[in-house]
Structure 1
Amino acid sequence: VKLMKENRIDPKLNENNIKNKTIKEKIFLGLIVLTLFFTLTTFVRFTYNLLKLNLLPLKYLVIGFIVIAVVLIPMVVLICKKNHYVLKSILIVLLVGMSSGCLFVNDYLKSTNDFLSKTQNKENKLVYKVIVKKDSEISKIENLKNKDISVLGTDAATIKDHLTFSYNENIKTGFIDLVHDLLDEKTDAIVLENGYYMLAIEEVESFEDDTKVIYTFDLETEEDLTAIDNTEIAVEPFVLYISGIDQRGNISSVRGRSDVNQLLVVNPKTHKILIVNTPRDYYVQLHGTTGLKDKLTHAGVYGINKSIETLEDLYDIDINHYIRVNFGALERLVDVIGGIDVYSDISFNMSHIKGRHVEKGMNHFNGREALAYSRERYAYTTGDNHRGENQQQVITAIIDKVTSSEILIKKYTEILKNLEGTFQTDLSSEDITSLVKMQLSEMPKWSIESYAVTGRGSSNYTYSMGTKYLLYVMEPNMSTVEEAKGKIKGVLNED
């Protein structure tokens, strides 16, 4: 006290300084605890999602964790031991920044995990429509009590479980018989799966104008996908079927005509990819059927298996895996990435978008326009043959746009969100990540070749529509089919 008085130090002021210092230390201690907790939980979540995705090669994981340990451990030690508040503050800010960066990357990892898990959902919800004549007095499902309803024999039991009221059931063996029962007024209503309904709209003149849908319901079914096998796709050659169905909506709730039929023949040993296009109207024998042949596109109405098995018969190959997308996927993807640029070899007016003119040369397309360009055939003398080339152009333009700019990084989660429900595959997460790991580990340069089988346009009767309708079909040019077979076997068998 005597010294304090001599140096004129106020005891109360010194006591306050000690208290302030204690409070300051407690605040810093609290910040340190919170920072360390935040850092720990963030890195645990980051590590969990990274290992769950299993995307990076082992050498990259080891290097990454060593770098993180070398940076983090000294920072944590310094924070806990050093009394320098400025240094501690800087270290806390750095830790929070690193943790925030991990949170950002963690969002990417979680989005990828969620997306991959949803694409492998094999449970399909098939949409059924109850249809009556346009001029019918029946306007709602309740009006069909004790009325005549025609259904396909394969659907009769499940439909009866859903339509719980009493009605007179007429069972038919073919979808076209159902259509004519209604049009010829032999029944009050019919029940069609949405794929058949879309087929009737396209192939039966005035069907859409002469009928109305009064009720829609879902029936769950589980597809037995024969394409699934145990091929190690990062090591062994494989064939991947890309099927683009002609309907929008959730991929798990629709079947439809397969308008895009591309085979990707991939050899990871030689780093070669062969893309084989088969026209939608190719006149082929649907697998498991006899008698009339049919358009390849109609195979999709009976499910992905029918398309796979029919193409296996045509090319004498085994298809190992498939990717199934609907038209909504293309539209959304192109819109999210800001459109694509495609070269057209002629000028024409789009058939599917009234008033949209395409110039000869480079054209910028949004999602709707890219889809219309992919579907265009009437503008070309070679029809369906040229449509396949357009589809390959659009696929290439999307890949170029995504891989040659920062769009994939900036729009990654938005791309996955917009593709949700429009994309389905039998490839497992392990299959997909093994390919990515191989690419990251070896960084090989892939050689890509495209080939399209051709044919001659004609009219003929089809398995799906029977002998009442002459439809446009493409008679296969078997010499091009044989050439495709040789190219496929060449890629698969090359070491």
Structure 2
Amino acid sequence: MSEKKKQDWSRVPGRIWAFIYFLGFCIFSGVVIRANVLPGKYLYPILTVSGIISIVLLMMLCSRKLKRGWKITAFVLSFLMAGIAGYAGVHLGETAAFLGKITRAETVQYEKYYVLTGKNSTLKSKDDLTNGTVSVFGGKDEGYRRAESHLKKCASVKFLRGTNLSGMALTMSEQPRGSMLVSTAHYQALKVQVPEWKEKLRVLTVLQVKKDVKDLSKNVNVTEQSFNVYLSGLDTSGSISTQSRSDVNMIITVNPKTHQLLLTSIPRDYQIRLTEKDNAADKLTHTGIYGIQQTLESAEDLTGLDMNYYVKVNYSTVRRFIDAIGGIDVDSDYAFSTSGQAYHEFRKGHNHLNGDQALAFARERHAFEDGDLQRNRDQEKIMTAILEKAAGSTTILKHYSEILSACGEYLETSMSRDEISDLVKMQLDGGYHWTIHRQSMSGESAMAGVYSMGNQRVYVMMPDQENVKACVAQIRRVAGGKDFTGAKTDKKKK
């Protein structure tokens, strides 16, 4: 083989690598742009500098006249650039996937309804219901109407309505062909109200009833206009799609111009109206059983405010996120220990908490004279600590991968990917310091019948309407760019 051909063949590896490098750079540029999380002051210099360096390296790799030493240098530098771009690309890809997971707000929801019968009933399947009568609790609310329609497709039945949930269940259980249609909430209530219910009742069949979920988002320009985010914390672990009681209820008001956050806690036992159940009276916590749509509608009905977006979390979210950022620091108003859950002790004053401890701190109420009201205050402390720690100058960078992998399956929001990206870019661009304010709604303890418990009288907190109006007024002040005039304010540290 001639010397010239040998030289041509010697250049082949360099040209192949140059082609691979060029494709890799194009992919990297596309991922950076598509991720849409970097403000222009970072994005354009990164792409410009990396582009210039890449052009120079490509020219060196493809040059026929460049000396061997420079060729080796070009190879080393291009491998280094490719490694950096690959590392950044993977993380940006993880970011895009994370945003895709948490912005998967439900458009269709399924509610479970149970057809119950007596333990010794002659009914063996839903087919045996034909030409029979099924007892149904309460009025014709939307959910029960859908369930009745679903059941009629399976069997020709008539419905008999009543107003005493446990009484209806006991009467039905003594009949040889008795049956009763109940929602998930009322099924859970019967387990509490009917003594030895396992010996008296059994499930004949379960209906999965489809429910269309309305898009309740009131979208705004999140970097220019104030907005409210409703935080619903469910009392369950695992999949975020599981419906359960909403034990943490907080309105987070964000003013992107004045860089103020106002956290407004609402007691879980607040008496509210279930807008999807003929405005039946119930506790706020029970709205979570019917889905986030009902929670938002009840909160809007209570306050007269738009809930522009929601964020839904559960026990798993809290544990995993706090562990991922290395724990949080809170100041406790009291020394106390937990009861009715995993045992933890907390000292008065400073406490450093991991995920399990933070969850226990936020859940405890029996240790306090104020009960739910003190729990609301402690939940505000946890949320403030999370916001301060997460927005720290190095926290997200240090724990980036852990945060994304920890929370992707346990967090849901109605904010779009673009809206979240816009907020991230705004913060990165300005490096703003946020002032966090806190307030809580209050009320009077009472006993009242609630829908989800079959109108059984249980503990509720009757809203103090003057207090609710005062809290709403503060929300409007902060949203309108005015100073918060309440008692609790935390200035975020740099």
Correspondence for 1:10: none
| Partner of residue 481 from structure 1, selected from 451, 456, 468 | 468
Correspondence 1:49-88 to 2 at 5 A: 49-81=31-63, 82-88=65-71
3-state SS in 2 of match to 1:285: strand
CA distance in 2, matches of 1:103, 1:371: 37
| Partner of residue 126 from structure 1, selected from 86, 110, 135 | 110
Using a 3 Å threshold, how does the CA distance of structure 1 residues 94 and 212 change in structure 2: closer, same or farther?
farther
CA distance in 2, matches of 1:68, 1:236: 35
CA distance in 1, matches of 2:235, 2:151: 25
Report the alpha carbon displacement of residue 38 of structure 1 after superposing the two structures with TM.
3.2
Using a 3 Å threshold, how does the CA distance of structure 1 residues 407 and 474 change in structure 2: closer, same or farther?
same
Give the number of the structure whose alpha-carbon radius of gyration is greater.
1
CA distance in 2, matches of 1:417, 1:195: 33
Q: Are the counterparts in 2 of residues 339 and 365 from structure 1 also a CA contact under 8 Å?
A: yes
3-state SS in 1 of match to 2:26: helix
Amino acid at match of 2:461: M
With the length of structure 2 as denominator, give the TM-score of the two structures.
0.81
Report the alpha carbon displacement of residue 287 of structure 1 after superposing the two structures with TM.
3.4
Using a 3 Å threshold, how does the CA distance of structure 1 residues 363 and 197 change in structure 2: closer, same or farther?
farther
Is 2:441 the counterpart of 1:453?
A: yes
Using a 3 Å threshold, how does the CA distance of structure 1 residues 370 and 458 change in structure 2: closer, same or farther?
same
My pick for the range that moved more, 327-336 or 233-242, is 327-336
Is 2:78 the counterpart of 1:95?
A: yes
Using a 3 Å threshold, how does the CA distance of structure 1 residues 315 and 486 change in structure 2: closer, same or farther?
same
Using a 3 Å threshold, how does the CA distance of structure 1 residues 136 and 168 change in structure 2: closer, same or farther?
farther
Report the alpha carbon displacement of residue 305 of structure 1 after superposing the two structures with TM.
2.5
How many residues align? The count is 468
Q: Are the counterparts in 2 of residues 126 and 255 from structure 1 also a CA contact under 8 Å?
A: no
Q: Are the counterparts in 1 of residues 166 and 194 from structure 2 also a CA contact under 8 Å?
A: no
Is 2:223 the counterpart of 1:223?
A: no
Q: 1:276-304 deviations in whole A, cap 9, x for unaligned?
A: 11111112333366676321112222332
Correspondence for 2:486: none
| Partner of residue 115 from structure 1, selected from 98, 108, 114 | 98
Report the alpha carbon displacement of residue 386 of structure 1 after superposing the two structures with TM.
0.9
Q: Are the counterparts in 1 of residues 220 and 227 from structure 2 also a CA contact under 8 Å?
A: yes
Q: Are the counterparts in 1 of residues 321 and 406 from structure 2 also a CA contact under 8 Å?
A: yes
With the length of structure 1 as denominator, give the TM-score of the two structures.
0.81
Amino acid at match of 2:470: E
| Partner of residue 400 from structure 1, selected from 388, 398, 401 | 388
Report the alpha carbon displacement of residue 22 of structure 1 after superposing the two structures with TM.
7.0
| Partner of residue 310 from structure 2, selected from 312, 319, 322 | 322
3-state SS in 2 of match to 1:154: helix
Q: Are the counterparts in 1 of residues 186 and 453 from structure 2 also a CA contact under 8 Å?
A: no
Report the alpha carbon displacement of residue 489 of structure 1 after superposing the two structures with TM.
1.4
Amino acid at match of 1:232: N
Q: Percent of aligned pairs with the same residue?
A: 29
Gaps of 5+ in 1: 1-14
CA distance in 2, matches of 1:43, 1:221: 46
Q: 1:422-443 deviations in whole A, cap 9, x for unaligned?
A: 2222211111111122222232
Correspondence for 1:280: 268
Correspondence for 1:44: 26
Report the alpha carbon displacement of residue 246 of structure 1 after superposing the two structures with TM.
2.2
Q: 1:377-423 deviations in whole A, cap 9, x for unaligned?
A: 11111111111111122222333343447553344233223323322
CA distance in 1, matches of 2:81, 2:469: 58
Using a 3 Å threshold, how does the CA distance of structure 1 residues 429 and 173 change in structure 2: closer, same or farther?
farther
Amino acid at match of 1:84: K
Report the alpha carbon displacement of residue 470 of structure 1 after superposing the two structures with TM.
1.5
Q: 1:218-265 deviations in whole A, cap 9, x for unaligned?
A: 665441122x2331111111111111122333223x322221111111
3-state SS in 2 of match to 1:264: strand
CA distance in 2, matches of 1:494, 1:364: 34
Q: 1:112-153 deviations in whole A, cap 9, x for unaligned?
A: 222222323224453637576896699xx9866525877743
Amino acid at match of 2:234: I
My pick for the range that moved more, 304-313 or 397-406, is 397-406
Q: 1:345-375 deviations in whole A, cap 9, x for unaligned?
A: 2233312324433333334444333222222
Amino acid at match of 2:85: C
Using a 3 Å threshold, how does the CA distance of structure 1 residues 117 and 369 change in structure 2: closer, same or farther?
same
Is 2:368 the counterpart of 1:386?
A: no
3-state SS in 1 of match to 2:447: strand
| Partner of residue 352 from structure 1, selected from 333, 340, 348 | 340
Correspondence 1:232-247 to 2 at 5 A: 232-247=221-236
Report the alpha carbon displacement of residue 157 of structure 1 after superposing the two structures with TM.
3.9
CA distance in 2, matches of 1:331, 1:409: 20
CA distance in 2, matches of 1:95, 1:300: 54
Q: Are the counterparts in 2 of residues 256 and 300 from structure 1 also a CA contact under 8 Å?
A: yes
CA distance in 2, matches of 1:177, 1:53: 53
CA distance in 1, matches of 2:364, 2:357: 10
Report the alpha carbon displacement of residue 342 of structure 1 after superposing the two structures with TM.
3.2
CA distance in 2, matches of 1:174, 1:247: 31
